[in-house]
Structure 1
Amino acid sequence: MTYEKFKREVERVLQEKGRPASWNEIRASSSSLKQRAPYHVYVQKLQGDIGLVRFKSGARTLWALRSWFESESGDFKNLLPTELRLIILHLYHDTDTDAEAAIAVDEYRQLKRVYPLQHQFRRWDMIEAEVADFFPADDKRPESIRIKGESWLKKVEDAKEQLRLVERTAESGEFLHTDAWKGKTLGLTKPRFRCFYFYDSRCQFFCDQRVCVGHDMEVEEEDAEIIGDRVYFILEAIKRAKREFIWEKPGVEWHIKSVIALTDPGQRRLLNL
């Protein structure tokens, strides 16, 4: 099934139901959605195209439309989770919200921007955050969540687990070449064949798309240290002056927020033989 057909069918079913529903419920209400589990790239695109929101309610994962929660009546807000478990990938001061913030991975392998942080953390820390506003009025970026407290659970120290987490979260570079990912402001990708070049606070690299003739991006993180054989870039959409985000218009422009460099334990063993 093509993405366009998938998008139309999912949106149709959700609109007809008029309430959050599980994937099994959506599939049961359609004659064309046969997948036992939906293709994750399609699901990621739906977040921008139709405002898809996925969250856990009890033991079930529900699919919903963001517009339902932003209405004056605030329908279904009582179904949203009050706590989130996240693994931190990058810490920084967010100038748009003027708060200490983190880019982290949730249980659906989605990047989230959470703020304001009350405590100091480091990359790979797993935290539990108490949600203040799933859709903050002062930050319309779809990945942003306002929290009102957080606690440290543990640190992901195992190299295999770190690599597995990043590999499962990393995305195709398609979003760098098309406007299909409407509303997306965070991304995690890796350069093709570890081919990249840092110079004057910028980086040139090729993503995994065949049409890619190279990207040249500003690097926000100072003194990025490349010490591993697996390199990944955390990307963020650039904003203009007067707090206007380019992602609200066609032709999204990105910059490298942070660099993750890991060593594959399997490769390390081979080198030591």
Structure 2
Amino acid sequence: MSYMESFLLALIQGLTEFLPISSSAHLILPSAILGWQDQGLAFDVAVHVGTLAAVVIYFRHEVVALLSAFFASLFKGNRSKEAKLAWMIIVATLPAALFGLLMKDVIELYLRSAWVIATTTIVFAVLLWWADKVSKLTDDEYQADWKKALFIGVAQAIAMIPGTSRSGITMTAALYLGFTREAAARFSFLMSIPIILLAGGYLGLKLAISGEPIHVGFLTVGIVTSFVSAYICIHFFLALINRIGMTPFVIYRLLLGAALFVFLSLS
């Protein structure tokens, strides 16, 4: 890996982690087209750290409020809307955590192919378009109950299939349930915090066990680039989503999926 590769891969990860366009679909393109080697565990951990820091710092006020309300609900019986939302985020995290524990090896073995990614990129683009069109766009994230949280959580678990897009399918599920576009995005971003933390912790443990060599320079580039690009991405997505809707991302996904099919057919 070169510094240019580490910069471009971290930039792709940061920009696509929180947009409904599938980070895995984009990360296979440089390796497939340019012949780049796998970036390795250490770099995976670095970009997870960068994107996690971006979403936590961007939502720092909400994170502090949710954590305070959560612990107050445990020890003081607090039933504020922040406490309820904190519990709903936990509920939404459980399916993906369980699914990841049970099915990760199966997915890595059978579903991590470019053909699967091309297919899911298109299929879940159509679902996103449909959900955006039929949504009532009335509820905010604080109106999520355990059934809605669980439904969105199951959607997040499905996102383990490469090409699905974690943010894309969770926003699709939230829109289907009647969330506004901004609320769907905010709930998706907030519920990304525990799942990125779990994924990063798992990769960090694997890295510690593997004894893989660490290149501090590449990791620094990965952390900083993924952090900055993810932070900017979150800011502008939330600022624009109510005005532009999901259609531009749907069109982009359809074109990307079609391009992947053409490339795979010709290679």
Name the structure where helix makes up a greater proportion of residues: 2
Bigger CA radius of gyration: 1
Name the structure where strand makes up a greater proportion of residues: 1
Question: Normalised by the shorter chain, which TM-score bucket?
Answer: under 0.3
TM (normalized to structure 1)? 0.24
Greater relative contact order, per chain length (Cα 8 Å cut-off, separation 6+): 2
